């Protein structure tokens, strides 16, 4: 496996693929969209945009789980910290603002918040302090939903419940095509999510929308190869669903994981920060697991919420309508040290990535 | 509910600020080639100029050279422009009054939840109004357009059908601006709800009147005097000692100011309610006021105060006479009514007169229990020609109902109430002078029901929230019920249609008399739709926006979707916004009882914005439809590649007539389809269409193949049958495009759109 990975990082291959992309790029403008924070990270880290012809653009869609987490869910977590419950969550979630403050600020104000690297950390914390109430603030797409499902199926301690904020990727990909004005020519589908859900959910894009779709990995060669595959589809005029990440992603995905998700969750409408309520795009615990649902266990009362501060353009950055450079706050009022919008917080947030690598390129 | 604030973009001026008659001629041509004008040939002769009378059937063309078809278009335009003039006049009255009262620098600020307060003005006129004075500039533009369009109706002017239609669409667009000006002036000056969803309830119906207090009835559209009546009564501490009631749009306005004010009902109740004599004073301003109102008021000794130059009833002008003297003249019956053009003075006279005259006119009040239906039924001469039946525009069986009433069976008369449009033709036709309308009204129940008061604009955050469900079809459409209560069948129908749509997750918004008529429909627990459904702008919710002028918020919501969801900029960018609405926003209007020319004007504005409208059977009275057909090439540009691609036959029509409520529901499901519907969205919309179609027929809709683009569009529960049908029709799949009708929006050409998004 190690050899394979090296192969996908090999600069000589990257150069060959980049040359092929230049050869195949048509004269008209093309816009490919990915929906994964890790893809955006890879693109910036390896400077992949510099390999592309000027008329081939890759935009970032709503693929950062931290960025799309609605303020109302963070407000709920903050409410819990102020009401005698210890909230456990991933590190990135601490710095994202809810309607008024972030979990980090809530902690400074006396709320009890702990950071975990995985859900099993949360389970251990709850087991070690059985007299305290713990809530695991569980966010992310299908990739993390499976860890939550697995933890719940293992009957976690009674003092642990879950504030579920999981979202599903395919519905929002279809939404992007419906919104209009984005003029996407092809999708780079997320490798991690596809590992779980497989290829089938993307079938609709080439079939109904004539949208070339390639599931891609995260090494530089993966991403460039996906772009090359998309270009070939565009040129041939025969959109299809292809799998560049075949070393990991299978057509049916992870059948066992999908079964566990189906066993624990049902699909409901879910709010996405800045996008509104996206139908059939969120997970909720099924009736038989409601005892683990923090929203059922506690009478959370947060009132109305506010997703974006005035001037923040995260909602436009997230759908790829604008790049962070077009946001009036970017690098001025909004920086990783003092983020105003969610996209500037997470290491997978588009603004954070652009800020980080733009600063590096400026120094260079 | 999120309260997130829309980041106000830096204003970018689009290509068409202050558009003139022909600015959008190209857009109109695109629309009118797809949706061809059809005329009912209502005007086969022309008397507009001294060359005529021209008989088109005999002479084929008029003496000025105009064709029959163009003459129909011209007469339709005439109706539309007069409607726009009425709305503009109303907007002018309220704007000038609020400027006089509050100053021209009064800020247009509807609070943090409605930052995008003037979407129509911004899009159409290209101005972001910040003060009342800015609205004045916009109103001047509206007035200019009305003058220009009206001049083209003159003999020796426009004679081409499509150009006449283009002008009709243009003046309709100006009408939408007038409506928004009207609303904004009120919203920033009065205590109206400014987009809050959970507005209070008020009572509606004849039963809402208490009868124990002096009662003042406000009729009309301006809102000015009605609200001054409330304010004067509050100032004098007598608000609780009098009853303030409204009819027609003013009813909405007074209840938006004080929800304790009551709503009697829509326009169709006007004459019959005045005939009850329950009102101590009647105050009218302008529009939708019966011209025989003074005569009816005289009979029951209710003094009438006319407060607008447009409607004076031949009454003496007492604007400059001392208030007490006028009150004395009215209470002593020296005058049947007066004209008072100062709203504050008119309000004072109304309240004082009501307080003083009440005891003197007790005998003219005829409560329900005091009216003897059988007494009047016995007057019937049994005319063999049945003039009562023949005079009724709704074809009601009046004669047999009166005969039944003679036998003390009042149920037949009572049943007529829901279908009576209150025109009074039966009363006029009866040789025995039987007060037929009163008999119908007294036979019917005088109940009261609940209606939410008008909430005004839709909040920006609500638009953001529902954008994705609208696009993904979870909300199959936004349906606006607007217009008059001139229904050809039961007024229950409007409630039944709304209920059907609400249960299927449509967002239903309503205004004016339609909103009131909807409140007469109750379930077996006597609950109105307003009590049963929430009032957020969300799936399966029912929203009363307010008076007819509040229809601007319906069009405004469609525009806001384009701006808030994709940041398509608005200022002076009408064509691109209309293109977005037509191709992407599943909104549709239902004007079930079109009557006034004003409605036709608003319809025309909605059409140009890309919102199709369904009229009830009475829509034939306008003699004009804009219908799509299979002969047209149903293509759009795919904005990604610039190719012209087939996009299925949606929305099928722009302006059509439904013969009954079932056909209207079927059309609604169809007209909410848009080229860019996602597969899930189209599935839901098709499922609704099939369900509504099956109310008529057992089979699948015959035209279903015209609305299916790919197999993914087919509703799962009907898949086998539909596929069979598709095979029969030799259907071929077509991919879903990124649709636009404007070549400049094709990528590479879209300099303006790209510039807009970059700068914002």
Query: What would the DSSP string read from start to end of B532-579?
Result: HS--SSSTT-EEEEESGGGHHHHHHHHHHHHHHHH----TT-HHHHHH
- What is the rounded CA–CA span in Å between residue A289 and residue A284? 10
- Identify the burial level of B109 via C-beta atoms within 10 angstroms of its C-beta, where 0-12 means exposed, 13-18 middle and 19 or more buried: middle
Give the residue among A92, A84, A150 at the shortest CA–CA distance from A119.
A150
The answer for residues whose C-beta is within 8 angstroms of residue B625's C-beta and 6 or more apart is B37, B38, B619, B653, B655, B656, B657
Q: Which residues are paired to A113 by β-bridges?
A: A87
pLDDT tens for each residue of B292-346: 999 999 999 999 999 999 999 999 999 999 999 999 999 999 999 999 999 999 9
Say whether residue A72 is in contact with chain B using an 8 A CB cutoff: yes
Mutate to test the interface with B, among A26, A73, A176, A178 (most CBs of B within 10 A): A178
B598 three-state secondary structure: helix
Residues of A in contact with B561 (CB under 8 A): none
Give the residue among B532, B548, B641, B526 at the shortest CA–CA distance from B593.
B548
> How close B758 comes to chain A (CA, Å)?
6
* B 405-444 near A (Cβ less than 8 A): none
Say whether residue B468 is in contact with chain A using an 8 A CB cutoff: yes
Q: What is the pLDDT of residue B565?
A: 84
What DSSP state is assigned to residue B8? P
Report CB contact under 8 Å: B466, A180: no
Residues of A in contact with B1 (CB under 8 A): 304-305
The answer for residues whose C-beta is within 8 angstroms of residue A243's C-beta and 6 or more apart is A194, A199, A214, A215, A249, A251
Say whether residue B474 is in contact with chain A using an 8 A CB cutoff: yes
Greatest C-alpha distance within chain A:
66
Q: Which residue of B has its CA nearest to A174?
A: B678
Q: Which residue of B has its CA nearest to A100?
A: B4
- Identify the burial level of B211 via C-beta atoms within 10 angstroms of its C-beta, where 0-12 means exposed, 13-18 middle and 19 or more buried: exposed
Task: Report which listed range, A178-187, A316-325, B491-500, is most confident.
Answer: B491-500
pLDDT tens for each residue of B46-93: 999 998 899 998 888 999 999 999 999 999 999 999 999 999 999 999
Distance of CA A62 to the CA centre of its chain: 6
* B 304-323 near A (Cβ less than 8 A): none
Tell me the average pLDDT across A237-261: 96
Q: What is the pLDDT of residue B542?
A: 98
- Identify the burial level of B402 via C-beta atoms within 10 angstroms of its C-beta, where 0-12 means exposed, 13-18 middle and 19 or more buried: buried
The answer for residues whose C-beta is within 8 angstroms of residue A108's C-beta and 6 or more apart is none
Q: Where does the pLDDT of residue B760 fall: very low under 50, low under 70, confident under 90, or very high at 90 and above?
A: very low
Host H or E run for residue A163? strand A160-166
Residues of B in contact with A72 (CB under 8 A): 2
Q: What is the pLDDT of residue B758?
A: 37
Is the predicted pLDDT of residue B5 greater than 50, yes or no? no
- What is the rounded CA–CA span in Å between residue B8 and residue B101? 30
**Cβ pair B593, B484 in contact under 8 A:** yes
Is the predicted pLDDT of residue A320 greater than 60, yes or no? yes
B191 three-state secondary structure: coil
- What is the rounded CA–CA span in Å between residue B669 and residue A123? 50
- What is the rounded CA–CA span in Å between residue B362 and residue B354? 12
B433 three-state secondary structure: coil
Report CB contact under 8 Å: A311, B7: yes
- What is the rounded CA–CA span in Å between residue A347 and residue A332? 19
CB atoms within 10 A of CB B53: 12
* A 319-338 near B (Cβ less than 8 A): 321-322, 326
Q: Are strands B635-638 and B739-740 parallel, antiparallel or unpaired?
A: antiparallel
Tell me the average pLDDT across B581-603: 94
| Peptide bond preceding B53 in cis form (omega within 30 of 0) | yes
Q: What is the pLDDT of residue A361?
A: 55
Relative orientation angle of helices B161-189 and B68-102, to the nearest 10 degrees: 20
Is the predicted pLDDT of residue B1 greater than 60, yes or no? no
Say whether residue A275 is in contact with chain B using an 8 A CB cutoff: yes
Tokens of B21: 């008659």
**Cβ pair A21, A53 in contact under 8 A:** yes
Report CB contact under 8 Å: B468, A276: yes
**CA separation, residue A240 to residues A208, A251, A253 (Å):** 10, 14, 18
* A 255-274 near B (Cβ less than 8 A): 269, 271-272, 274
Q: Where does the pLDDT of residue B567 fall: very low under 50, low under 70, confident under 90, or very high at 90 and above?
A: confident
Lowest mean pLDDT among A219-228, A340-349, B256-265: A340-349
B639 three-state secondary structure: coil
Tell me the average pLDDT across B487-500: 93
Q: Which residue of A has its CA nearest to B710?
A: A208
Q: What is the pLDDT of residue B11?
A: 64
Is the predicted pLDDT of residue A5 greater than 90, yes or no? no
pLDDT tens for each residue of B169-214: 999 999 999 999 999 999 999 999 999 999 999 999 999 998 899 9
Using alpha carbons only, give the angle B620, B624, B629 rounded to the nearest 5 degrees.
Answer: 110
> How close A327 comes to chain B (CA, Å)?
8
Q: Which residues are paired to B479 by β-bridges?
A: B508, B588
**Cβ pair A111, A78 in contact under 8 A:** yes
Report CB contact under 8 Å: B747, A29: yes
Say whether residue A178 is in contact with chain B using an 8 A CB cutoff: yes
Q: Tokens 């279903």 — which residue?
A: B704
Lowest mean pLDDT among A19-28, A345-354, B455-464: A345-354
- What is the rounded CA–CA span in Å between residue A171 and residue A168? 7
Q: What is the pLDDT of residue B696?
A: 82
pLDDT, mean over chain B? 93
Report CB contact under 8 Å: B467, A275: yes
CB pairs under 8 A between A and B: 139
Using alpha carbons only, give the angle B244, B248, B250 rounded to the nearest 5 degrees.
Answer: 50
Q: Which residues are paired to B317 by β-bridges?
A: B339
B321 three-state secondary structure: coil
- What is the rounded CA–CA span in Å between residue B750 and residue B752? 6
Give the residue among B122, B162, B168 at the shortest CA–CA distance from B145.
B168
Q: Give the phi and the psi of residue B354 in degrees, each rounded to 5.
A: -60, -45
**CA separation, residue B36 to residues A159, A361, B604, B637 (Å):** 68, 58, 14, 20
The shortest CB-CB distance from A209 to any of B464, B681, B735 is to B735
Q: Give the phi and the psi of residue B306 in degrees, each rounded to 5.
A: -95, 135
Residues of B in contact with A182 (CB under 8 A): 566
pLDDT tens for each residue of A119-176: 999 999 999 999 999 999 999 999 999 999 999 999 999 999 999 999 999 999 999 9
**CA separation, residue A355 to residues A7, A34, A39, A65 (Å):** 29, 19, 16, 18
Say whether residue B466 is in contact with chain A using an 8 A CB cutoff: yes
- What is the rounded CA–CA span in Å between residue B709 and residue B498? 29
Residues of A in contact with B736 (CB under 8 A): 177, 208-210
Say whether residue B594 is in contact with chain A using an 8 A CB cutoff: no
Q: What is the pLDDT of residue B12?
A: 79
**Cβ pair B569, A321 in contact under 8 A:** no
Tokens of A123: 């389970």
Say whether residue A210 is in contact with chain B using an 8 A CB cutoff: yes
Q: Which residue of B has its CA nearest to A55?
A: B748
Residues of A in contact with B580 (CB under 8 A): 180-181
- What is the rounded CA–CA span in Å between residue A135 and residue A112? 11
The shortest CB-CB distance from B758 to any of A99, A279, A326 is to A326
Report CB contact under 8 Å: A305, B3: yes
Per the document, the length of chain A is 364
Is the predicted pLDDT of residue A2 greater than 80, yes or no? no
Say whether residue A55 is in contact with chain B using an 8 A CB cutoff: no
Residues of B in contact with A304 (CB under 8 A): 1-3
Give the residue among A131, A31, A140, A124 at the shortest CA–CA distance from A90.
A140
**Cβ pair B303, B282 in contact under 8 A:** yes
Residues of B in contact with A309 (CB under 8 A): 5
Per the document, the length of chain B is 760
Tokens of B481: 């019920």
Report CB contact under 8 Å: A276, B677: no
**CA separation, residue A102 to residues A343, A356, B743 (Å):** 14, 22, 46
pLDDT tens for each residue of B243-258: 999 999 999 999 999 9
Q: What is the pLDDT of residue A359?
A: 60
Q: What is the pLDDT of residue B10?
A: 54
Is the predicted pLDDT of residue A337 greater than 70, yes or no? yes
Residues of B in contact with A204 (CB under 8 A): 679, 712
* A 98-127 near B (Cβ less than 8 A): 99
* B 640-659 near A (Cβ less than 8 A): 640-641
Host H or E run for residue B410? none
DSSP-assigned letters across all residues of B327-355:
HHHHHTTS-SEEE---HHHHHHHHHHHHH
Tell me the average pLDDT across B604-611: 98
> How close B699 comes to chain A (CA, Å)?
27
Is the predicted pLDDT of residue B751 greater than 50, yes or no? no
> How close A155 comes to chain B (CA, Å)?
33
- What is the rounded CA–CA span in Å between residue B516 and residue B496? 14
Report CB contact under 8 Å: B4, A71: yes
Q: Which residues are paired to A268 by β-bridges?
A: A282
Q: What is the pLDDT of residue A360?
A: 57
Strands of the sheet with B281-284, listed across from one edge: B337-339, B304-306, B281-284, B215-219, B243-247, B262-265, B201-204, B449-452
Say whether residue B583 is in contact with chain A using an 8 A CB cutoff: yes
Compute, in degrees rounded to 10, the torsion defined by CA atoms B530, B531, B535, B538. Answer: -100
Give the residue among A320, A341, A348 at the shortest CA–CA distance from A44.
A348
Say whether residue B754 is in contact with chain A using an 8 A CB cutoff: no
**Cβ pair B199, B452 in contact under 8 A:** yes
């Amino acid at each position: 496996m190690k050899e394979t990975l090296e192969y996908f990082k090999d600069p000589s291959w990257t150069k060959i693929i980049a040359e092929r992309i230049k050869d195949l790029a048509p004269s008209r403008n093309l816009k490919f969209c990915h929906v994964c924070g890790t893809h955006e990270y890879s693109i910036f880290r390896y400077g992949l945009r510099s390999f592309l012809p000027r008329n081939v653009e890759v935009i970032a869609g709503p693929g950062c789980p931290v960025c799309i987490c609605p303020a109302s869910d963070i407000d709920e977590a903050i409410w819990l910290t102020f009401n005698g419950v210890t909230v456990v969550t991933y590190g990135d979630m601490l710095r994202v603002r809810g309607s008024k403050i972030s979990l980090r600020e809530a902690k400074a104000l006396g709320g009890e918040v702990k950071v975990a690297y995985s859900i099993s950390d949360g389970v251990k914390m709850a087991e070690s302090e059985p007299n305290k109430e713990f809530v695991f603030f569980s966010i992310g797409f299908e990739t993390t939903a499976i860890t939550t499902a697995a933890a719940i199926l293992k009957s976690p301690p009674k003092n642990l419940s879950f504030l579920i904020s999981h979202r599903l990727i395919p519905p929002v990909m279809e939404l992007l095509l419906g919104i209009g004005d984005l003029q996407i020519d092809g999708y780079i589908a997320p490798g991690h999510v596809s590992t779980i859900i497989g290829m089938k959910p993307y079938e609709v894009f080439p079939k109904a929308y004539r949208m070339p779709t390639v599931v891609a990995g995260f090494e530089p060669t993966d991403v460039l190869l996906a772009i090359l595959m998309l270009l070939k589809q565009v040129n041939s005029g025969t959109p299809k669903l292809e799998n560049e990440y075949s070393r990991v992603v299978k057509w049916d995905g992870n059948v066992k994981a999908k079964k566990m998700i189906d066993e624990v969750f049902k699909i409901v409408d879910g709010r996405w920060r800045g996008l509104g309520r996206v139908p059939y795009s969120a997970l909720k615990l099924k009736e038989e697991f409601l005892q683990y649902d923090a929203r059922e266990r506690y009478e959370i009362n947060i009132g109305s919420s506010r997703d974006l501060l005035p001037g923040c353009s995260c909602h436009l950055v997230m759908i790829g309508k604008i790049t962070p450079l077009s946001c009036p706050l970017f690098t001025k009022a909004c920086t990783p040290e003092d983020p105003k919008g969610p996209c500037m917080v997470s290491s997978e947030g588009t603004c954070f990535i652009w800020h980080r690598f733009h600063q590096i390129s400026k120094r260079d | 509910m999120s309260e997130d604030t829309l980041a106000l973009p830096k204003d970018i001026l689009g290509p068409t600020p202050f558009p003139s008659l022909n600015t959008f001629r190209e857009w109109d041509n695109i629309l009118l080639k797809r949706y061809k004008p059809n005329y009912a040939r209502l005007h086969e002769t022309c008397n507009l100029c001294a060359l005529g009378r021209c008989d088109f059937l005999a002479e084929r063309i008029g003496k000025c050279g105009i064709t029959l078809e163009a003459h129909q278009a011209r007469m339709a335009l005439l109706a539309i422009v007069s409607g726009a003039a009425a709305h503009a006049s109303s907007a002018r009255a309220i704007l000038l009054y609020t400027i006089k009262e509050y100053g021209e620098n009064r800020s247009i600020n509807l609070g943090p939840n409605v930052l995008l307060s003037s979407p129509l003005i911004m899009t159409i006129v290209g101005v972001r109004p910040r003060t009342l004075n800015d609205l004045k500039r916009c109103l001047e533009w509206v007035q200019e357009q009305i003058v220009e369009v009206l001049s083209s109706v003159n003999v020796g002017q426009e004679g081409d059908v499509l150009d006449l239609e283009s002008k009709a669409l243009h003046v309709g667009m100006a009408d939408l601006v007038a409506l928004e000006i009207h609303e904004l002036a009120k919203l920033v000056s009065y205590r109206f709800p400014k987009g809050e969803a959970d507005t209070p309830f008020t009572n509606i119906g004849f039963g809402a009147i208490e009868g124990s207090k002096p009662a003042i009835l406000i009729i009309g559209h301006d809102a000015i005097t009605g609200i001054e009546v409330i304010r004067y009564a509050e100032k004098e501490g007598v608000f609780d000692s009098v009853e303030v009631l409204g009819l027609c749009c003013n009813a909405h306005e007074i209840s938006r100011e004080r929800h304790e004010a009551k709503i009697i009902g829509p326009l169709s109740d006007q004459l019959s309610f005045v005939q009850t004599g329950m009102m101590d004073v009647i105050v009218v301003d302008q529009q939708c006021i019966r011209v025989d109102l003074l005569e009816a008021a005289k009979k029951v000794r209710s003094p009438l105060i006319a407060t607008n130059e447009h409607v004076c009833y031949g009454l003496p002008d007492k604007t400059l006479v001392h208030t007490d003297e006028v009150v004395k003249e009215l209470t002593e019956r020296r005058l049947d009514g007066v004209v008072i053009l100062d709203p504050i003075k008119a309000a004072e006279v109304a309240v004082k007169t009501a307080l003083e005259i009440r005891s003197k006119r007790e005998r003219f009040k005829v409560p329900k229990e005091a009216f003897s239906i059988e007494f009047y039924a016995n007057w019937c001469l049994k005319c063999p020609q049945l003039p009562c039946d023949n005079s009724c525009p709704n074809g009601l069986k009046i004669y047999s109902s009166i005969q039944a009433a003679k036998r003390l069976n009042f149920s037949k008369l009572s049943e007529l109430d829901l279908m009576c449009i209150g025109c009074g033709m039966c009363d006029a036709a009866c040789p025995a002078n039987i007060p037929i309308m009163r008999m119908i009204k007294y036979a019917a129940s005088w109940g009261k029901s609940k209606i939410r008061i008008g909430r005004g604009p839709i909040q920006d955050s609500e638009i953001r929230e529902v954008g994705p469900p609208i696009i993904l079809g979870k909300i199959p459409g936004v349906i606006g019920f607007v217009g008059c209560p001139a229904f050809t069948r039961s007024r229950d129908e409007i409630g039944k249609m709304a209920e059907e749509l609400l249960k299927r997750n449509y967002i239903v918004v309503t205004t004016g008399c339609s909103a009131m008529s909807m409140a007469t429909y109750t379930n077996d627990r006597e609950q109105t739709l307003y009590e049963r459904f929430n009032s957020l702008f969300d799936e399966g919710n029912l929203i009363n926006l307010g008076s007819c002028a509040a229809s601007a918020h319906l069009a405004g919501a469609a525009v806001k979707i384009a701006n808030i969801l994709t940041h398509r900029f608005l200022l002076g960018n009408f064509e691109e916004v209309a293109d977005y609405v037509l191709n992407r926003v599943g909104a549709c209007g239902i004007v079930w009882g079109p009557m006034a020319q004003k409605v036709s004007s608003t319809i025309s504005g909605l059409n140009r914005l890309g919102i199709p409208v369904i009229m009830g059977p009475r829509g034939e009275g306008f003699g004009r439809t804009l219908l799509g057909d299979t002969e047209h090439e149903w293509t759009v540009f795919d904005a990604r590649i610039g190719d012209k691609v087939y996009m299925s036959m949606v929305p099928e029509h722009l302006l059509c007539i439904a013969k009954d409520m079932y056909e209207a529901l079927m059309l609604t499901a169809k007209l909410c389809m848009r080229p860019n519907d996602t597969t899930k969205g189209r599935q839901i919309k098709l499922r609704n269409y099939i369900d509504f179609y099956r109310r008529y027929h057992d089979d699948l809709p015959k035209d279903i193949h015209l609305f299916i683009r790919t197999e993914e569009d087919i509703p799962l529960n009907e898949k086998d049958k539909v596929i069979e049908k598709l095979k029969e029709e030799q259907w071929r799949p077509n991919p879903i495009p990124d649709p636009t009708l404007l070549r400049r929006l094709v990528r590479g050409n879209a300099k303006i759109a790209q510039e807009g998004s970059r700068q914002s």
